[in-house]
Each structure stands twice: as C-alpha cells, then as structure tokens.
Amino acid sequence: VTLAVNNTNKSIFNIYPNPVTDVINILSDKNLSTVCIYDAAGRIALQSSNNTINVENLAKGTYIVSIKYADGSVETKKILKK
C-alpha cells in the first residue's frame, strides 16, 4: 500500500524578500497570468501580471499573495509588509 501523495502539478515558486518594505519579486518555473495581493479583510489590495510588484503604498501588516498561472492553477503565500 502506497501512502505517499504524488503532487506533480505544484510549481516551484518563491516570493522575496519576505518581510517586504517596498518591492516583492516572484520567482516561478511557470508562466504567471495574474498576481493578486489580498489584505486581512479579503479585499484585493493590488493586482498585477508582473514578476516584480511595488508594495510601498500598502499599510503594514500581513497579506496573502495569490498567483494564477497561465495553465489555470493557483498558489498562495503569506507576506509581511513592514
């Protein structure tokens, strides 16, 4: 009996620096379609299609970065804005 989970659809992606003060960079092995940054209330704070996003105008706090890829898959990560 195999108990492992084969997760072949996951991409390799990283958001740096985290915590962030002014600009976040997104490194991914898949093509990005849309990047949405959500605040704690679930509202879209920023939306972009670039790998580099200026977040200096966001208030300090925790945000969720949701990345939608060209193939339709979605991944999320938390970031901390200083």
pLDDT at 13: 83
pLDDT for 76: 94
Which residues, in sequence order, are bridge partners of residue 21?
A: none
The pLDDT value recorded for residue 12 is: 78
* Binned average pLDDT, 10 residues per bin, the chain of 82 residues: 58 89 94 95 96 96 95 94 95
pLDDT on residue 11: 66
Rounded CA separation 39/46 (Å): 9
Q: Give exposure, 24-56, as e/b (b: 16+ Cβ within 10 Å).
A: bebebebebeebbbbbeeeeebbebeeeebebe
**What is the structure's pLDDT at 37?**
97
Token pair, residue 5, equals 């989970």
